[in-house]
Amino acid sequence: MKRFFLEIAYDGTAYHGWQLQPNAIAVQEKLNHALHTFLREEVETIGAGRTDTGVHAKQLYVHFDSANKVLLDNPNRALLSINSLLPYDISVQRIIEVASDAHARFDATERSYEYHIHSTKNPFLINKSWLLRDIPDLQKMNEAAQLMLGTKDFECFSKSNTQVFTNICTIKEARWEQNGDGFVFHITADRFLRNMVRAIVGTLLEIGVKGKPISYMQEVLESKSRSKAGTSVPAHGLYLTRVIYPYIQLNLDFETR
C-alpha cells in the first residue's frame, strides 16, 4: 500500500461541506465514490479539515492509501480518469505520493482563507460572494484585525459545544483589501476553530459598518465569549485558499490562478 495526497478544489454550493454526512451529500462522498470506481478498491480519504455547508475550497489536500499501481505508473491518466468521474463542481489538481505516515490534517502547518463581499448586485456572484449594501470602513477594520495577530485564545469566535483540545491559534495574517466594487478579507493561521473565520468577519463588520470602536475587538477577545462577538456571516462568501505542508512544494499553477 502506498499513501497519496490529492490536491482538490470545489464549489461548495451544492454540498453540505467536505465531511461525510449521514443524510446529506458532501464533497468527501463524491470523491470517495470516484476513487472507488477508478481504483476498484475501497478508499477512505482524510482531509486537511472540514468546510461547512456552502463553503468553497480553492485548495484542499486529502490523503488515502492504495495498492493500485496506475497511480504511480501513469499519474496523468489517473488524474484525467478521476476527474471524469467527479461532478463538474469538484476537481483534482494533483496526485502526490507521500510517506506512509504523512497526514493531511495533522501535518498541515498553515491554512489560509478568504472572505468575499460585493456591494452592487451581480447575478454572476450568487453563491460566490456576499452582497453587502453598506460600504465598510476598511481602515478601521484593518486596524482592528491587527489586534488578532499572534498566539491567542480564540474561544470567542468558536462555534459552541465543539470538542477541541485547545482554543489557542496563531494568526499570521489578517487584512482586508478592496477588489473592484468588492472587498476581500485574507486570514492565515496555523489552525482554525469551527466557524472562526465567519465569526471574525462578522465582528470586524460591527466595527467597519455598524460603527463600534476598534477597541471592541480587544473586548471580544478578552471576553472569551461567543455571545460578545458579531454574527457569523453567510457561508457562501468563504473560501479555503491554501494549505501548507513542510514536504509538499507549492503548486505554481495554483499560485497563478
Over the stretch 183-223, which tens digit does the pLDDT of each residue have? 999 999 999 999 999 999 999 999 999 999 999 999 999 99
Task: DSSP letter for 167, please.
Answer: -
At 256 the pLDDT is: 44
Q: Are strands 90-98 and 150-153 parallel, antiparallel or unpaired?
A: unpaired
Q: Which residues participate in catalysis according to the annotation?
A: 52
Q: Are strands 110-118 and 2-10 parallel, antiparallel or unpaired?
A: unpaired
110-241 CATH, one of 3.30.2290.10, 3.60.21.10, 3.40.605.10, 3.30.70.660: 3.30.70.660
3-state SS, residue 126: coil
Locus of grid cell 449594501: 133
Q: Are strands 150-153 and 2-10 parallel, antiparallel or unpaired?
A: unpaired
Q: Decide if pLDDT at 227 tops 80.
A: yes
Q: Decide if pLDDT at 255 tops 60.
A: no
Q: Decide if pLDDT at 87 tops 60.
A: yes
Q: Decide if pLDDT at 257 tops 50.
A: no
- CATH topology identical between 2-107 and 110-241: yes
Known binding site for substrate: residues? 113
Interval 120-133: pLDDT, tens: 999 999 999 999 98
At 32 the pLDDT is: 97
CA distances (Å), origin 181, targets 118, 131, 138, 207, 237: 6, 11, 13, 20, 15
* Per-domain boundaries in the chain: 2-107, 110-241
Interval 30-51: pLDDT, tens: 999 999 999 999 999 999 998 9
Q: Decide if pLDDT at 251 tops 80.
A: no
Known binding site: residues? 113
Q: What fold does the segment set 2-107 form as a domain?
A: Alpha-Beta Plaits (3.30.70)
Angle formed at CA 54 by CA 197 and CA 230, multiple of 5 degrees: 35
At 249 the pLDDT is: 84
Query: How confident is the model over 232-256, as a mean pLDDT?
Result: 85
